[in-house]
Amino acid sequence: MTSTPDPAPPAGNLDPAIAARLKRGADGLVPAIAQQYDTGEVLMLGWMDDEALHRTLTTGRCTYWSRSRQEYWVKGDTSGHIQRVKSVALDCDADTVLVKVDQTGAACHTGDRTCFDADVLPLLDQ
């Protein structure tokens, strides 16, 4: 079985050394996990392309790509629930970004602190 190579990095402002390491999905995106820097609380999952990652690294504010709206959005620009970036790391496969942030207000668009507050699944007996 042959594997399909990752798509070529899109042209943009992201440091070429970082862009060369990223393993993107077929849509050119990588998942970006936002985590509260001091408590370890997982806040949300968003999507980034090279430009969103570049903006996140250079502005200190999380920028994501909205798959539904097909546009960039900076967390907190409309809600006031800002994510101030403390650090950014790639996972061992370079296919996921972990952004440690200082979250102001709710991270979830529903108004919950995290996107993982409302629907905790029961563990089945093992």
Tell whether residue 95 is among the known ligand binding residues: yes
Task: Tell me: is residue 91 an annotated ligand-binding position.
Answer: yes
Burial class for 61, CB neighbours closer than 10 Å (0-12, 13-18, 19+)? middle
Main-chain phi, psi angles of 68, to 5 degrees: -80, -40
49 is in an annotated binding site: no
Q: Which residue has the higher pLDDT, 124 or 30?
A: 30
Class of domain 26-101: alpha beta
| This prediction's pTM | 0.85
Sequence ranges of the domains in the chain: 26-101
3-state helix, strand, coil in the chain (%, to 5): 15, 30, 55
From CA 13, how far away is CA 76, in angstroms rounded?
A: 23
> Average pLDDT, stretch 69-80?
93
Q: Which residue has tokens 């402002």?
A: 13
Q: Tens digits of per-residue pLDDT, 106-119? A: 999 899 999 998 88
Cα diameter, the chain = 50
- Residue 62 among known ligand-binding residues: no
